[in-house]
């Protein structure tokens, strides 16, 4: 049983066995990942790349092997296209600084969507303020899908980049990213895909998608916190400037001029998180040994079951009901008089019964404002989630609703 590989799932919360349904925020870690972190600090900890001694060479090899595993996972052309960052947020900020400095000027436009996480909004806003550029937003249709017809009209000779989530972190909706990329590329506009919620659940092939950039985090796919990935096509990374300066990213430094390292190192200033990369490599091994297709089928089945069970509760409104989703379902609870039960209250009562869900605006305030609610309750599954846990969650939710009426 997969749950046996995740020690935290044996924990008791308020005297009850933990039911963890907050996987869109972060996933739990298998023992093999926990052991990898201990191994690194116990057996071969040393700074990478610049050391001639044995420990440094071992650490360097393990760090670079992990980079190759990431490249293989998303089908990149080369490990040169894999930049290690602190996470998805860091990846997007890095891209906004680097791409923005080189490619964006006054009056230029960046296109994002109504569904975006703050990490795919704020860095572009900061860029637009800095460069006097304009941020354009793809609106939503009544069913909460992206309005592709409006998107077509947003693209122009002024558009420098489109940056869109493949999967909404709030609603779990799978956006038509292939169509978005195709439409943008027809006008020679590059596309960044926020894959924070898609890479953990879907088979993402950057060559098949033909995306120019892809960003995601290790901690949302059973790896450690503090590690992310920025994938970029080599032709883009070659012509973009570094976003940060310091050690590692240089070729030669003098007071007159600095020249930069080769890819991917010119984007990796300072000591990298080599322990995190090694542990993430172990997480990737674990995923592939378990079977990526089997995991996807299991999670898809559970997500559908979760939504179906929620839809049968009269007091519950499921957002984007019936639309294809990846791992997450958002909902709210309403009283018999039609008034909204605050999501926080629902979350607290679920927690008292050992159920972990996420409540609030989920770092997507523009979307929550559009829904005209203070927040939602989000339940999200992972490879170790079970139908029995969904049943326990539904039973706990029904009990909470009775207490809140």
Domain coordinates in residue numbering, the chain: 2-22+292-404, 46-289
- Please indicate whether the domains covering 2-22+292-404 and 46-289 agree at the CATH topology level: no
Contact call for residues 138 and 111 (beta carbons, < 8 A): yes
User: Does position 164 have pLDDT exceeding 80, yes or no?
Assistant: yes
Which residues participate in catalysis according to the annotation? Answer: 363
DSSP 67-95: HHHHHHHHT-S-GGGEEEESSHHHHHHHH
User: Does position 1 have pLDDT exceeding 80, yes or no?
Assistant: no
Q: Considering the entire predicted model, what is its pTM?
A: 0.96
**Rg of the Cα trace of the chain?**
22
Q: In CATH, what is the architecture of 2-22+292-404?
A: Alpha-Beta Complex (3.90)
Q: Give the pLDDT confidence of 318-376 residue by residue, as tens digits.
A: 999 999 999 999 999 999 899 999 999 999 999 999 999 999 999 999 999 999 999 99
Distance CA 329, CA 331 (A): 7
Distance CA 103, CA 374 (A): 37
| pLDDT tier for residue 405 given thresholds of 50, 70 and 90 | confident
- What whole-number percentage of the chain has pLDDT above 90? 97
Contact call for residues 116 and 165 (beta carbons, < 8 A): yes
Q: Which fold has domain 46-289?
A: 3.40.640
Say which DSSP state 244 is in: S
């Amino acid at each position: 049983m997969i749950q046996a590989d995740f020690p935290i799932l044996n924990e008791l919360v308020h005297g009850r066995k933990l039911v963890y349904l907050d996987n869109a925020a972060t996933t739990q870690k298998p023992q093999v990942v926990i052991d990898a972190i201990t191994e690194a600090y116990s057996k071969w900890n040393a700074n990478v790349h610049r050391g001639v001694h044995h420990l440094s060479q071992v650490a360097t090899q393990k760090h670079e092997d992990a980079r190759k595993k990431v490249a293989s996972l998303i089908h990149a052309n080369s490990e040169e296209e894999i930049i290690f960052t602190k996470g998805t947020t860091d990846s997007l900020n890095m891209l906004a600084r680097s791409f923005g400095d080189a490619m964006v000027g006054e009056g230029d436009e960046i296109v994002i969507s109504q569904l975006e996480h703050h990490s795919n909004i704020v860095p572009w806003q900061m860029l637009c303020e800095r460069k006097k550029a304009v941020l354009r937003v793809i609106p939503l249709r009544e069913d909460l899908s992206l309005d592709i017809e409006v998107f077509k009209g947003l693209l122009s000779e002024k558009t420098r980049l489109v940056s869109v989530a493949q999967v909404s972190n709030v609603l779990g909706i799978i956006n038509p990213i292939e169509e978005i990329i195709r439409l943008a590329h027809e006008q020679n506009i590059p596309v960044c895909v926020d894959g924070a919620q898609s890479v953990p659940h879907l088979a993402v092939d950057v060559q098949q998608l033909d995306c120019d950039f892809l960003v995601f985090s290790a901690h949302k796919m059973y790896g450690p916190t503090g590690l992310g990935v920025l994938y970029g096509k080599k032709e883009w990374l070659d012509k973009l400037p570094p976003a940060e300066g310091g050690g590692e990213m240089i070729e030669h430094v003098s007071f007159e001029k600095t020249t930069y390292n080769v890819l991917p190192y010119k984007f990796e200033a300072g000591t990298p998180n080599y322990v995190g990369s090694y542990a993430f490599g172990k997480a990737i091994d674990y995923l592939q040994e378990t079977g990526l297709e089997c995991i996807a089928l299991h999670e898809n089945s559970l997500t559908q079951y979760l939504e179906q069970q929620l839809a049968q509760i009269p007091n519950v409104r499921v957002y984007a009901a019936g639309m294809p989703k990846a791992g997450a379902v958002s909902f709210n609870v309403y009283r018999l008089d039609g008034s909204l039960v605050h999501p926080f209250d629902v979350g607290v009562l679920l927690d008292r019964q050992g159920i972990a869900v996420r409540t609030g605006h989920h770092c997507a305030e523009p979307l929550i404002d559009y829904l005209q609610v203070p927040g939602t309750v989000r339940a999200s599954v992972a490879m170790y989630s079970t139908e029995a846990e969904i049943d326990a969650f539904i039973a706990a939710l029904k009990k909470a609703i009775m207490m809140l009426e």
